[in-house]
Amino acid sequence: MSKKRYTVEFLHRPGLYLQDDEIDSLVSEMRAVAGQCFSQIPEYQALAGTREDLSDKVITLARDSDGKLVGFCSALLLDVEGVGPVLHLGLTCVGPGERGAGLTHVLTSRLVFQYLLTRQPLERLWVSNVACVLSSLGNVARHFDDVFPSPEGPVAPGPKHTRIAQAIDRRYRKQIAINDDAVFDAGTFVMRGSVRASPFQKDAGDPRFQHRDRILNEYYGQLMRFEEGDEVVQVGHLSILSGVKYLLRRSGILKALRTRRDMVAQA
């Protein structure tokens, strides 16, 4: 069976320049895809649909050969004092018929790297994520630098990690769909009760939301109480250098080089 081909489009703060009818059409398309992913479409982020809601978003759209929207990734730009713009990885939806083709990864990586290039590309880009989905947490831990909390990251958060997490807790709950009564644990970076009784709450044992790496599943699974609707607040950063390393890792080049190095060492 031939591999499906998609066209991916990048939108930077589309609420600032799209016409009203274009905004209505875009939101309608995204809500149609989201309706295949949620039993109840959440009224937040890019799905809320107003010009204001789209003015602080970075979005990638995937269309099939017929031009139909089959997936999207929407990130929120946070303004954090003492840090600057922070890219918050928020909402990714892919239609059931398109899953298994790596489209989620394509949408997310295209969004992150294209946004990185719109800024001063040599500067460090701070990134945040709030999730209870183990695969999402694992991917952020694996592909970004100095992620806290992470089994391979710093043992304690740095000043900017803390500033970003505090901004999420104190200023951006509504935009990220965090319950008003959730309690932020500053020691573990866990938001207790963040998505309790919401469409985002997940079952710890559901294999659809687990990462391929068992160690990552165990690490993040032990931090959260899924039945209480906990989520992990992750903070890390990215640069052009780490981006190149990431692309090499995805292509298998680094793995091949490590294998070659080990063979030489054993010779």
Q: Digits of tens for pLDDT over the chain (267 positions)?
A: 446 789 999 999 999 999 999 999 999 999 999 999 888 898 899 999 899 999 999 999 999 999 999 999 999 999 999 999 999 998 999 998 887 778 888 999 899 989 988 876 678 899 999 999 888 899 899 889 999 999 999 999 999 999 999 999 999 999 999 999 999 999 999 999 999 988 776 766 665 666 778 899 999 999 999 899 999 999 999 987 766 666 666 555 445 444 444 444 444
Domains of the chain from N-terminus onward: 1-119 (3.40.630.30), 133-267 (no CATH)
> Could you write out the three-class secondary structure of the chain?
CCCCCCEEEEEECHHHCCCHHHHHHHHHHHHHHHCCCCCCCCCCHHHHCCHHHHCCEEEEEEECCCCCEEEEEEEEEEEECCCEEEEEEEEEEECHHHCCCCHHHHHHHHHHHHHHHHCCCCCCEEEEEEECCHHHHHHHHHHCEEEECCCCCCCCCCHHHHHHHHHHHHHCHHHHCCCCCCEEECCCCEEECCCCCCCCCCCCCCHHHCCCCHHHHHHHHHHCCHHHCCEEEEEEEECHHHHHHHHHHHHCHHHHHHHHHHHHHHC
What's the predicted TM-score (pTM) here?
Answer: 0.87
